[in-house]
Amino acid sequence: MKYRLLFALASAFFLCACGSSVPYTLANTPKNPEPLDPSVPVVVVNGSSVPVLPFEYKYLGTIETEAAVGCSTDGTVEQLRKMARDVGANVVYVKKIDQDIAIVYTGVVMMSSRCLTLLADFIYAEAPLITKWQEEEKKAMAAKEAKE
């Protein structure tokens, strides 16, 4: 009976950790940001693939994610998109990608996860390339929704 209770508590802890948001450090965001319209897609750009930003853009902050138990690549990217939208950015420009190991020890069980960690800038830009990426993002989201 004692072990069942411990197992139930540990399971509840891990399930809560999986549903939580990505831990992060956010810097230099506007004090009163104007959120991006929900119909405008937020694109995630890998800085190693596209080393130069558009000529004219508005910088809206930098984020660095941290490893957390229950992390996932899709969850991290979707959380970044949501946060970018909240500050009015239409591009998440990823400058650095790493993987870290998150470890949680509950006294009974030790669990580790390999987690994606990112350093990225939030920007707003209106450039033909950004518009093209946004159109591709809309098509990808529509295809994903059609499969579900």
pTM over 0.85: no
Closest CA to 19 of 68, 67, 85: 68
pLDDT at 70: 61
| 48 residue type, one letter | S
pLDDT at 66: 79
CA distances from 36 to 84, 87, 102, 140 (A): 8, 7, 32, 20
Give 26-82 pLDDT, tens digit per residue: 677 778 888 988 888 899 888 888 888 778 889 999 988 877 756 767 777 888 899
